[in-house]
Amino acid sequence: MGLRSAAVWGVISVLSFLVLLQGFRLFVGPIGIGLVPTVGIAFALGGFVTVLSFVLEPRLTAKGRS
């Protein structure tokens, strides 16, 4: 169950980053980063969050926080 949960948190982080960036571009203006670097940053963030949540989930579960 831990890997599936971690993957879901990774997907949530990717989508959240892309939505926040789109909102920033909509209300403030362009930021000078193209589509490919944006997607690269989003997937790097998603990978980081996936690994972090996979590593920390047992610890949080042991403390009764999840």
Residue 15 in contact with residue 58, Cβ under 8 Å? no
Exposed/middle/buried for 29, CB within 10 Å: 0-12, 13-18, 19+?
Answer: exposed
What whole-number distance in Å separates Cα of residue 28 and Cα of residue 22?
10
More confident residue, 36 or 57: 36
Confidence band of 60 (pLDDT split at 50, 70, 90): confident
CA distance 58 to 56: 6
Q: What pLDDT, on the 0 to 100 scale, is given for residue 59?
A: 81
Provide the residue ranges of all domains of the chain, joining segments of one domain with +: 2-62
pTM of the model as a whole: 0.83
Cα–Cα distance measured from residue 51 to residue 32, given in angstroms and rounded to the nearest whole number = 29
pLDDT, tens digit, for every residue of 1-44? 578 999 999 999 999 999 999 999 999 998 889 999 999 999 99
What pLDDT does residue 65 have?
A: 66
